[in-house]
Chain A
Amino acid sequence: MNLDFLTPYGFWNPILWLLVIFVALLVAYLIWLRGNSRYKKGTEQTKPFLSGYAPESKEAMMVSASNIYWGFTSTLKGYYNFLRKMHTGDIRDYLGWYVGIVAIMLILYILWGGA
């Protein structure tokens, strides 16, 4: 079976690439073997270096996905705070909003809708 492909973009042979990956992994493994094996597991030696400060929990150190919108939410803080107050979690409040908005829309319709 011939696995050599000569495409308009160049030469491609999957076996050759597998060989390259194997050699790269081997080199990486040899470098890893030369590392310091005297580290004591479970001590400060295996903890991250944070300029001398004690490492916090992983949850506190990681940047959450919501931080992508930090600039957006920070700029519109006043607006969000107002909206947050409206979101009480009480279904009666939401129904009150619903009835109120429907009433306003009905009034508007009665006044100008028929014209």
Chain B
Amino acid sequence: MPKLPTKSFDRSLWVFHVNTGSCNGCDIEILAALTPRYDVERFGIKLVGSPRHADALLVTGPVTRDMEDKVKRFYEQMADPKVVIVIGSCGISGGVFHESYNLVGPVDKVIPVDVYVPGCPPRPEAIIDGVVKAWMKLERLRREKK
């Protein structure tokens, strides 16, 4: 069991969500994490509309050929330090689409990934857990850079 943070985080976490070929199941669970039942925005976790504003990249689905250059660009447009979270089995291994002719492969074949959240789709609790782990890594990276 990883050590939980004993103090509050330094900064809120701005997240850019990208669907690289998901069936939308994982995307719906991400939305569920934002709804009043879980309401992650109260912890400062916020979805933003541009990777240039984001600390974390949240990726759902395997990477299709059409999305390969785009997901690379999303990653390159984010300022350092940054973290990448993959939500769902398809982004981790290709899932049920792993033999599809139209896939480049799982997300870590295209960009470096920090946190994997397995599931088809993962529950919002699992997504929040993965995001918090990524957040802890980001804070650590920030402190190392100082």
A contacts, CB < 8 Å to B? 36, 38-40, 43-45, 47, 49, 51-54
Contacts and interface: CB of A to CB of B under 8 A. Distances in A.
A45 B76 contact: yes
A44 B77 contact: yes
Nearest to B78: A45
B130 interface: no
Contacts of B125: none
Interface in B6-56: 18, 50-52
Of B50, B52, B78, B80, chain A has the most CB atoms within 10 Å of the CB of B52
Interface of B: 18, 50-52, 67, 69-71, 73-74, 76-81, 145
Contacts of B80: 38, 40
Contacts of A44: 73, 76-77
A45 B73 contact: no
A44 B111 CA distance: 15
Given A52-B70, A52-B73, A53-B70, A39 B79 contact: yes
A38 B76 CA distance: 13
A21 B18 CA distance: 41
B108 to A, nearest CB: 18
- A contact patch SS: loop
Given A38-B79, A38-B80, A39-B79, A45 B70 contact: no
Nearest to B66: A52
Contacts of B81: 38
A15 B14 CA distance: 41
Nearest to A37: B79
A42 to B, nearest CB: 12
Contacts of A36: 79
Contacts of A53: 70
B146 to A, nearest CB: 11
A38 B71 CA distance: 21
A52 B74 contact: yes
Nearest to B74: A52
Contacts of B145: 38
8 contacts: A36-B79, A38-B80, A38-B81, A39-B79, A44-B77, A45-B77, A51-B70, A54-B69
A103 to B, nearest CB: 63
Contact of B71 (A45, A47, A52, A54): A52
A36 B69 CA distance: 25
